[in-house]
Each structure stands twice: as C-alpha cells, then as structure tokens.
Amino acid sequence: MIQKSIHRLLMTGFVAFISSLSLMAQHKVEVIPFGDMDQWVDRQIKESSIIGGNTKNVYAIGPTSVIKGDQVYKNMGGSPWATSNVMAKVAGITKTNTSVFPEKRGDGYCARLDTRMESVKVLGLVNITVLAAGSIFTGSVHEPIKGTKNPQKMLQTGIPFTKKPVALQFDYKVKMSDRENRIRATGFSKITDVPGKDYPAAILLLQKRWEDANGNVYAKRIGTMVTYYYHSTDWKNNVTYEIMYGDITNRPEYKAHMMRLQATESYTVNSKGESVPIHEVAWGDENDVPTHMYIQFTSSHGGAYIGSPGNTLWVDNVKLVY
C-alpha cells in the first residue's frame, strides 16, 4: 500500500510537471526591443549659464552611447521607447528634466521612474516649478519642448504593431510616497492639492487607427491591460498580466476609471505631419487586428503635472507573451 501511494504521488507530480511544460510550450515569450533595460543613451546636455550652466545627464533607452551637447533626440537603433526625460528651450533658456534613470540590477540594469519637482527660476524672465513623473512609453517625443502648455501634444503615442499577444510580462518594484493627497504643479499657476493618493501604473493598449480626409485620427480599442500599484513592494519577477480583447465593459476585471475609452488624451502625427489627438471612438471585436501598440510605465497615474514626489516605480525585462 505504501509503495502504491508513493507511486501515485510520484505520478501525480510527474503529470503536473508535464502539464506545466505543456503550458510553457503553448506560449512564446518575446522581449520587446531594449525591454531588458540594459542599454542606455547618456545625453550630456549643458544647461544655460543663466540657470547655472551645469551639464546634466538625460538618459534615453537605446544603444549604449554618449551624446554631448543640446542635440534634439530621436529614437536610436530601433528602440521603441521614449521617456519623460527631455530637453526644453523656453524663452531662450536650455533646461533639462530627468526623472527616468538606469539603475544597476544584477549583471545589468533596470529603469527607475521617479516623481519629482523640477524648478527653473530666472529673475525677471521665468519662474517655473513643475511636477515631473517618471514615465517610459512606446513612442517618441518632439524635442525641444517649448512650453508647459498641452504636454501630450509633444508626444508621438504608440508604435506600429499588428500582432495579438495574450499578455504583458515584466519585473517591477514599487516605493510609494506617504502623501495622502497629490499635488498639481503646472509651472505658471499656483501649486494646489489634488484629492487622492498617487499610484504608479502599467498600461498596454492595442488600437486600430485610421485617418479621415481632414487629417483627423480615430481609433478602435482592440486590446486593454491597465493596472495600478497601491503598495510598496520589493522586486516581483515575471509578473504576467492578461491583455483583454474587444469590448471589456461587462468583464469583472473592467475598471472604468482606468480602462474606459479615451481615459487619457493621446496624440500622434498624421499624414500631413501635424500632431493631432487620437479620438478613441469604439471598442473593437475579436476579429479586429491592431495597427498600433502603446505601452506605458509611469510613477504617477494622474496625468501631466499631477502626482506625489517620492513615488518610484522600477521596471525590467518587459516581454510580450503569445
């Protein structure tokens, strides 16, 4: 009897092992280009002498290299990633913002995304304090930034993409600010409190986009994955989030405040070369094929200039599961 029991347990374990192997064999995991966060461009930009003239390191995710000087940055080496690190030229003053950093992790690096305050003060010219969240996303930035008005218009949101992955997988770590409310600091208006705690977020949207004769861009939402992080946590590896397809409004996982159509305003460049809003007008169906993918990791969920200094999100090894 004992031998039979042992044999049964061994067989049960073997079947479970074979099942897990089978499950792994059914899914293919692909690292998004530069998604291992091990390669970084170090842009060394000298700010204007009137604000100190310091040389700042403005990091981008791309082939390991150093760029000296205030050159406008365009994604290098086929990297799909842009960041909230930018060079601005306002009223003739060159200023940088860095809220995304490479950080050593094991034998390589990860991305550290910080929410922080950034100030420029020049007597008689400008006095700007903005809240800058750390963000990395698939797309690009139209440099140089020339003002704080309508920052979304300075972003090319998403990249061409026609596949239908089943999940997004990555490693992450979270450190939450202890502030109960967020702040809003746009640069020129008074700094104000915004009710509610600040949460880091991970977002993946698959869209089917099209353009009308007037250059307006519209989109159907094909796939959705949005999650907020509510607590500080140490590294969690290979965490896998399902991408939900089609109209998800009746699914128990659906959270309207973060997953609804047009939850945030996004821009793209149309065929005329103009930066225009993407009008997300309908849910797709299971037969629709996306034209674009937008992935974003951010240390603050509330949009431009809103958040809590001290929030930090670390991200590494970003992959798609098929």
pLDDT tens digits along 91-101: 888 999 999 99
Residue 225 neighbours by CB under 8 Å, 6+ apart: 167, 168, 202, 203, 204, 205, 241, 242, 243, 244
Burial class of 180 by CB neighbour count within 10 A (0 to 12, 13 to 18, 19+): exposed
pLDDT tens digits along 181-204: 999 998 777 899 999 999 999 999
CATH classification at residue 185: 2.60.120
17 lies in some domain = no
Please determine, for residue 67, whether its predicted confidence score (pLDDT) is greater than 70: yes
φ/ψ (deg, to 5) at 10:
-60, -40
Q: How many domains does the chain have?
A: 1
9 lies in some domain = no
18 lies in some domain = no
Domain of 123 in residue numbering reads as 27-319
Q: pLDDT band at 4, cuts 50/70/90?
A: very low
CA 62 to CA 160: how far, in whole Å? 18
* For residues 236-250, average pLDDT: 97
Please determine, for residue 10, whether its predicted confidence score (pLDDT) is greater than 80: no
